[in-house]
Structure 1
Amino acid sequence: MKIESLRRLRGPNVYLSRPAVVARLRLGRLTGVETCDVTGFPERLLRALPGLAEHHCAAGAPGGFVSRLRGGTYFGHVTEHVSLELSQVIGRDVSFGRTVSAGEPGCYDLILECPVDESPGSDVPRELLEAAVELVLAVEQGGTAAPDLSELAARAEREAAGPSTRSIIAAARRRGIPVERFDDLSLLRLGWGNRRRLAWAAMTDRTSGVGIDIAGDKQVTRRLLDEAGVPMPVGGAARTADEAVGWLDRLGGPVVVKPRCGRQGEHVALHLRTREEVELAFAEAGRDVIVERQLGGRDYRVLVVAGEIVAAAERITAHVVGDGVSTIDVLIEKVNADPRRGVGHSRVLTRVAAEPRTLRRQGLTGDSVPAEGVVVELAATGNLSTGATSCDVTDQVHPDVARLCLRVTALLGLDIAGIDLRLPGIDEPLPPVDGGEEVTAGVIEVNAVPGLRMHLAPVRGRSRDVGDAIVRAMFPAGSDGRIPTVAVTGTNGKTTVARMTAHLLADNGLRVGLTTTDDVRVDGRVIYRADATGPLSAQMVLGDPGVQAAVLETARGGLLRRGLGYDWSDVGVLTNITADHLGQDGLATIEDLAHVKALVAERVRDGGTLVLNADDPWVRSLVDRPRVRADRKRIVWFSLDEGPPVLDEHLAKGATAYLLRDGWVVQQTGARRTPLMRAAEIPGAYGGAAPHVVANALAAIAAARALGAGQEAVCRRLAEFDPAVDNAGRGTLLRLGNVSVFVDYAHNPAALAATLRTLHRLWGPDRCVAAVTLPGDRRDDLLAACAQVIADSVSRAVLYDDGDLRGRTPGEVSSLVEREMRARRPLLTAVRAAGWHDAVVEALRLAGPGEVVLVLYEKLAPVLGLLAELGAVPAGEAVPALPGRGPRSSASPRSSLMGNGHVPVPGYHS
């Protein structure tokens, strides 16, 4: 039994709304074996992992999995539950798991939930699964010992977001603000597009770099605040041991020595009274230090966010309390047993350790046994990083102290700051600074990126939601940080609909980010060329601060292999669902494909809009799915046909649809129809000969209008859509001498049928030559169906294979296509070419005057480049004259094609 592969679904997916991993597990010799077939296996497994007794499984109650275990279940299912339990053992709080067949005996996919903010690059899920496999195999062989996961637990804790970062994440999610943690850092991306903000722990993208540098240099901070009359302890910088001792001589003890650019209380020495103590502290602090008078009083931290005091805490140094029996070392062990304490900043409290200097000052060692009730300090400073605790005093802050803290923050130019003070009491007024007297209370330090833990989980007093304060400062007035977002999916038409929608929205200077099969575009410019229909491409657009609206083509592959790249969209468009990609990624039927595409509909926000194709039965069925929750969304149908009963019911409720009626694209709300433009005038529809393009336009209009685009603007922008530029490769018409060339990406039966019908309408039957390639990762029956569609529509064909064979052998796809075409049409002229270049040249040679060459491509740019070299020029919207008729163009609408006699095409092309 072994894990063969693992992939991570980073966003909402077909299994659940949270991140998950999908692991391919092969059972090997345990194929077909059930747990009840292995004597004693359930009991041994429960001894190794007692927590499995609480697993519900399908029973919906604790003990459900144990019942399955004893009654007999396959070892893939067992590995799933063991993985979940091991996750809990290491403190990784997840609960969802599912085991499904991978399509062959003994091979399963394990779907396991991941913590929502776990780094996508983390190896923890894989190592947990491997540990689960090892444990199951060991128990099957008679073992009962649980694996040692201490090292993995420590790594998972180190990689997890710390308390400060978690508080900001939680506050953002409560507000509905999209938030994503970058890798395993404390860097957060909040919001989308031009509303996107960045935060790194308690630092935001508006935090002043100058302020950070000032706060990071304690001497500069001292001088700046001293000159402003802020009460601070007397002292200064020292770069040599003699200078440090000189300060001690001038000030008298006790003094504090701390690194000039230190952080988190590291190498800070207090209570220094002798030359030897100062010299030692100077050396430990890095030989560039601040020496200052140690103020009396109590230690406080005040947190300022955007000009507001949001929290204040008194810091209590790390300590233990004697019981008259235990040594200090034993007392420390007891304190560290508190589950809230961890290493570093991973938990709300840090593990304590005794500083030898601090113990020596009290005349103690780790072996000392303090009397009952005696408090023993373990560290000199009150930093939580040295094990200190805190008490909330926010409601006690005196107005004088509040004004001082706000003034200090403003003087350094910081939006977020932690002000450290030494005061008799934070509820007492501050005396004015007297230039002739030494300060006895005041500011001792300013922190530019303050820790939040002391305010989130004080030992005493009320917890303060400081993460929410930071989020409120970053997103004022209740903003959710989102930009208008459209997601487009389906089998065919996705790219054209996405491009049209982006074009319609890009009015009045609105900068639109667009992802499609071909590239990523921002404000109409290509920034990245690739198949950009997955989550990484979506994040590329949503993370761009120049984008004001996003249109995301969302394909099956990305949905299954990586999940969605967003949490919710405002508009979801489903063009159609027809046979394609079956046999890939576990998709066996169109129903499976519909289940995947439904995810886009499910993730339209409450109150958002679903734009659906009323002519497609699979799309119509989506509104009945419980997870789509259609009752919470606005449904807008589009249709080329007057037949679907769903339209009559929809319009009878006064709802809106976008329809083709009597040659016009119309918006219909209830019984009221508003003509928008003639269908024959839609760019790329070739005078109405390409009704699938009309359907694409209907979907795009519906999406743009759902986001508030005006009716007149939509019509104007649609008329300006230039298919040759804005939608290259999707029905692109060129002229080469007296031959037309039609370049298209059709690669499944429905798309090919729609394209070839268009060519028949324009050029008539048997006047088309095709240069044909089909993707090798399609099932043989789908390739055969494509071949049959082509054979029915062309008399001459040149066949070639994609450069990327996608698992096929050279010539395999073209041979299959040729065989199926000849079986369908024995007299067909079919030749095979070595590659795309030879195929295009040969197809052009076979074409006669007035005929059209259909070029199907794998990659567009080289094909267009070759055609340009041969002298091909854009033909625009001009279409040929059919026998016995004069020439036509899109300016001469052909209402006969677009009226009630047209043939609806539910599975139109891309």
Structure 2
Amino acid sequence: MAHFPDIQLLRTTYLRGPSVWTYRPILEVWLDLGALEDHPSHQLPGLNQRLTAWLPDLVEHHCGVGERGGFLQRLEGGTWMGHVLEHVVIELLNLSGMPAEFGQTRETSRRGIYRMVFRCPEEAVARVALAQGHRLLMCAINDQPFDLPAAIQAIKTAIDDRYLGPSTGCIVAAAAERRIPHIRLNDGNLVQLGYGAAQRRIWTAESDQTSAIAEGIAQDKDFTKRLLASCGVPVPEGQVVASAEEAWAVAQDIGLPVTVKPSDGNHARGVTLELTREADIKAAFALAEPEGSEVIVERFIEGIEHRLLVVGGKVVAACKGETVSVTGNGRDTLRRLVEVENQDPRRGFEQEYPLCLIDANAPAVQLELKRQDVTADSVIEAGRSILLQRNGNMAIDCTDEVHPDVAYYAQLAARIVGLDIAGMDMILKDVSQPMQAQGGAILEVNAGPGLLMHLKPTAGTPRPVGMAIADHLFPRVAEGSGGGVHPGRIPLVGIVGTQGNAFSARLTGWLLQLSGRLTGVASSEGMFVANRRTQGGSAAHWAGAHRLLTNRLAEAAVIQTTARSILDEGLAYDRCLVGVVTDMDGWQQLGDHDISEPGQMTRVLRTQIDVVLADGAGVLNADIDPVADLARLCDGEVLLYSLHEDNAHVAAHRAGSEGGGEAGRAVFVRGTQVVLASGAAERVLGTLDGLRLAGGQRPDTGALLAAVAAAWALDITPELIAAGIKTFEYTA
């Protein structure tokens, strides 16, 4: 059997936003098949059998056939290795727990060179998946062994290292369901939801509405209890202690049994329950002391530990805990029984698991074993139950059982502390009964509570806590209370082309500024806020737009981009209110993207129109036929502009014979007049000589019309547009 050299990965580019391929982030890979260009899949003996043996779920890939088994039909009929690699990578991502349903492979103008893309929300994960998929495919082609479990684990490790944690991830997913955009601000879990001044920020289950003072209060558990008690909320009696001896003395004063815990710990670390013996209490002090700044001894309250999640003043989810124990069989040591218990698929170290692995050597577990006079190496007699953990395993959903009185105290405690999102740890015998009548109490109020227990309970119904937080941050607008409301979005104008676009962007930004919105502009002439240059150099690229969209001052944004930026990076925004295409020039400089003729620019520049919101508008230069033809791709309204009043596209658009039958709007020049037309109705904005800038210069007419049309698409009045042009101070 012939040995084939590796497929060459010529270059890989991560496109972080909408591109010529799709709306979402993808990895684009240029491949050189080499000798494999002459050997499609059906000409490589055993390849298909090896692939399906390693990846049996390839049968679920519909491919272009459109049915289950579609890709396997393509394999058997013969398909090229770039296409095969696409599906191998997608399947490896699926097996690693990150579904990746989108991929495409296309030939370039050079024989044997292909562009292959696949969707993946994290660049580092995408690159690891590509490397593993590439190696698997070459091993399958050359009939060599391949370690599939190791490949999947490598991808999983990349996911764990780079992907959002479950709490942050569920909020981002809920926001995406409501079409609220997001921007990841660091390598961790700090995420911006929305753009500009409309944004909110989250860090796991904390928001930018979470008060630092409230968080500080919640971290001091002794002060929190005193504050709650002063407002009538039931809490266990307790006291801060400075030594093991004081812990024992306070325990005797309070009354046994007691709980010993750190004053500002979390995740139940260092907490020991139901202590009665002096030695155990002193040992518990030593366990709690390293976990916080102080140690608290408090009265033990009989009942089951519960966690209630309060969001925006309302209880949205509740879980109750269960103790962890193992039962002896008369043969195995306790250590072996713990190993068996850890095989429960719900247990793991990663955040995706609702239950943690049990460490038989952990100090808290050792303390529990000591209280039962056993060790990890003891053989436990048949039928004897050994308690390992009393807390920290809240994973049984009980949301529907919460009594209104219990919910009242949870909500009251969150308000007293001042948290908008709070995890309330409560001890209750029965969550369906009034709190005080059963002697229940609030143990802790937690800022930034974990959400996994509500997303993946071990029993009961998962709760949409991510959506509850998204709705808290972006309250839903009642139907009929006003159209065109997009949560988390600001008016955003995207401009692409080459003809005077920097001027058009800056004038549009000025007109938006005059309409009452503090406006930022990212253009090839720099970054501007309220027409004041804040950064020099070109900002007509992904990074420039990104900086603008993260600026909390920006109540509106105008972003200039280029065909190259779309091909190299993708757009920095997922949608825009107005998209402007001025021309399709510049193809001569894009040969490295396999563009060699003007007609290929349509596929690139349509990206700007593809992202226009349904209640937005596309602004198109009617004097360039391919640009005007983009009108058919726009989900929103279309406004055309032209230097000629007799432009055929403008006439048809005004008459309603293009784009759906409704009379459209257009901006054009008649003689020396700039005319705004809506169907048959016309209004003269002014003369070209009269529409001079503040410095007296007369702008390029095409660039002026593009800005006027964009401003009109934003419903800025003609009077303000005319006045704004004359007051615009422009220096390149």
TM-score, length-scaled by structure 1: 0.72
Work out the CA distance in 1 between the residues paired with 2:447 and 2:133: 44
Aligned to 2:676: 667
Deviations 1:119-168 (CA, angstroms, capped at 9, x unpaired): x4x2x222221222222222222224343122431331343223322221
Where 2:274 maps in the other structure, the secondary structure is strand
Aligned to 1:139: 140
1:541 and 2:548 correspond: yes
1:446 and 2:445 correspond: yes
Deviations 1:390-440 (CA, angstroms, capped at 9, x unpaired): 222x343333323322222222122121111112222323448xxxxxx95
1:72 and 2:78 correspond: yes
1:45 to 29, 48, 51: 51
1:185 and 2:188 correspond: yes
Work out the CA distance in 1 between the residues paired with 2:282 and 2:698: 90
Where 1:667 maps in the other structure, the secondary structure is strand
2:260 to 257, 261, 275: 257
Aligned to 1:553: 560
Bigger RCO (CA 8 Å, 6+ sep): 2
2:278 to 266, 275, 280: 275
Where 1:161 maps in the other structure, the secondary structure is coil
Q: Which amino acid aligns with 1:234?
A: E
Where 1:599 maps in the other structure, the secondary structure is helix
CA contact (8 A) 2:175 2:181 kept: yes
Q: Which amino acid aligns with 1:474?
A: L
Aligned to 1:574: 581
1:222 and 2:232 correspond: no
1:317 to 309, 319, 323: 323
1:380 to 373, 390, 393: 390
Where 1:346 maps in the other structure, the secondary structure is coil
Q: Which amino acid aligns with 2:465?
A: V
Q: CA deviation at 1:687?
A: 10
Work out the CA distance in 1 between the residues paired with 2:27 and 2:381: 52
Q: Which amino acid aligns with 1:378?
A: L
1:383-398, aligned counterparts within 5 Å?
383-384=392-393, 388-392=394-398, 394-398=399-403
1:811-830, aligned counterparts within 5 Å?
none
Work out the CA distance in 2 between the residues paired with 1:233 and 1:502: 59
Where 1:506 maps in the other structure, the secondary structure is helix
Q: Which amino acid aligns with 2:631?
A: V
Q: CA deviation at 1:716?
A: 0.3
- Give structure 2 stretches of 5+ with no counterpart: 1-5, 478-485, 657-662
Where 2:28 maps in the other structure, the secondary structure is strand
CA contact (8 A) 2:128 2:154 kept: no
CA contact (8 A) 2:694 2:727 kept: no
Cα distance change of structure 1 residues 378 and 529 upon mapping to structure 2, 3 Å threshold: farther
Cα distance change of structure 1 residues 212 and 349 upon mapping to structure 2, 3 Å threshold: same
Where 1:316 maps in the other structure, the secondary structure is coil
Q: CA deviation at 1:311?
A: 2.2
Work out the CA distance in 1 between the residues paired with 2:697 and 2:283: 88
Work out the CA distance in 1 between the residues paired with 2:335 and 2:698: 87
1:243 and 2:246 correspond: yes
CA contact (8 A) 2:354 2:458 kept: no
Q: Which amino acid aligns with 1:145?
A: F
1:163 to 146, 162, 166: 166
2:410 to 405, 414, 432: 405
Q: CA deviation at 1:58?
A: 2.5
Q: CA deviation at 1:320?
A: 5.5
CA contact (8 A) 1:514 1:520 kept: yes
1:696 and 2:710 correspond: no
Cα distance change of structure 1 residues 647 and 687 upon mapping to structure 2, 3 Å threshold: farther
Q: Which amino acid aligns with 2:512?
A: L
Work out the CA distance in 2 between the residues paired with 1:602 and 1:326: 64
Q: CA deviation at 1:677?
A: 0.7
Aligned to 2:487: 480
Q: Which amino acid aligns with 2:599?
A: E
CA contact (8 A) 2:693 2:725 kept: no
Work out the CA distance in 1 between the residues paired with 2:725 and 2:389: 71
Cα distance change of structure 1 residues 679 and 238 upon mapping to structure 2, 3 Å threshold: same
Q: CA deviation at 1:579?
A: 4.7
Work out the CA distance in 2 between the residues paired with 1:688 and 1:160: 52
Q: Which amino acid aligns with 1:180?
A: I
Q: Which amino acid aligns with 1:343?
A: F
Aligned to 2:23: 17
2:603 to 589, 595, 607: 595
Q: Which amino acid aligns with 2:649?
A: V
CA contact (8 A) 1:495 1:516 kept: yes
CA contact (8 A) 1:353 1:378 kept: no
Aligned to 1:129: 130
Aligned to 2:615: 607
Question: RMSD in angstroms over aligned alpha carbons?
Answer: 2.8
Between 1:649-658 and 1:334-343, the stretch displaced more is 334-343
Q: CA deviation at 1:304?
A: 1.6
Aligned to 2:690: 681
Cα distance change of structure 1 residues 655 and 35 upon mapping to structure 2, 3 Å threshold: closer
Work out the CA distance in 2 between the residues paired with 1:321 and 1:590: 75
CA contact (8 A) 1:102 1:108 kept: yes
Q: CA deviation at 1:188?
A: 1.7
Work out the CA distance in 2 between the residues paired with 1:665 and 1:193: 33
Work out the CA distance in 2 between the residues paired with 1:719 and 1:370: 92
Q: Percent identity?
A: 35
Aligned to 1:852: none
Q: CA deviation at 1:326?
A: 8.4
Q: CA deviation at 1:28?
A: 4.4
Where 2:23 maps in the other structure, the secondary structure is coil
Work out the CA distance in 1 between the residues paired with 2:530 and 2:577: 20
Cα distance change of structure 1 residues 639 and 335 upon mapping to structure 2, 3 Å threshold: farther
Work out the CA distance in 1 between the residues paired with 2:331 and 2:650: 83
Work out the CA distance in 2 between the residues paired with 1:574 and 1:259: 61
Where 2:265 maps in the other structure, the secondary structure is coil
Aligned to 1:491: 498
Work out the CA distance in 2 between the residues paired with 1:105 and 1:59: 25
Q: CA deviation at 1:302?
A: 1.8
Where 2:641 maps in the other structure, the secondary structure is strand
Deviations 1:441-467 (CA, angstroms, capped at 9, x unpaired): 311111011112222333344433222
Aligned to 1:58: 64
Q: Which amino acid aligns with 1:670?
A: G
Work out the CA distance in 1 between the residues paired with 2:172 and 2:268: 26
Cα distance change of structure 1 residues 415 and 720 upon mapping to structure 2, 3 Å threshold: same
CA contact (8 A) 1:487 1:554 kept: yes
Work out the CA distance in 2 between the residues paired with 1:36 and 1:319: 56
Q: CA deviation at 1:4?
A: 3.6
Q: CA deviation at 1:535?
A: 2.4
Q: CA deviation at 1:642?
A: 3.2
1:154 and 2:157 correspond: yes
Aligned to 1:777: none
Q: CA deviation at 1:694?
A: 1.5
Q: Which amino acid aligns with 1:55?
A: H
Q: Which amino acid aligns with 1:414?
A: L
Q: Which amino acid aligns with 1:155?
A: A
1:303 and 2:309 correspond: yes
Deviations 1:703-740 (CA, angstroms, capped at 9, x unpaired): 112212111111000112234x2xx1xxxxxxxxxxxx
Work out the CA distance in 1 between the residues paired with 2:697 and 2:516: 31
Q: Which amino acid aligns with 2:54?
A: A
Aligned to 1:5: 11
Where 1:262 maps in the other structure, the secondary structure is coil
Work out the CA distance in 2 between the residues paired with 1:455 and 1:263: 18
Work out the CA distance in 2 between the residues paired with 1:168 and 1:510: 29
CA contact (8 A) 1:452 1:466 kept: yes
CA contact (8 A) 2:499 2:703 kept: no
- Give structure 1 stretches of 5+ with no counterpart: 433-438, 729-910
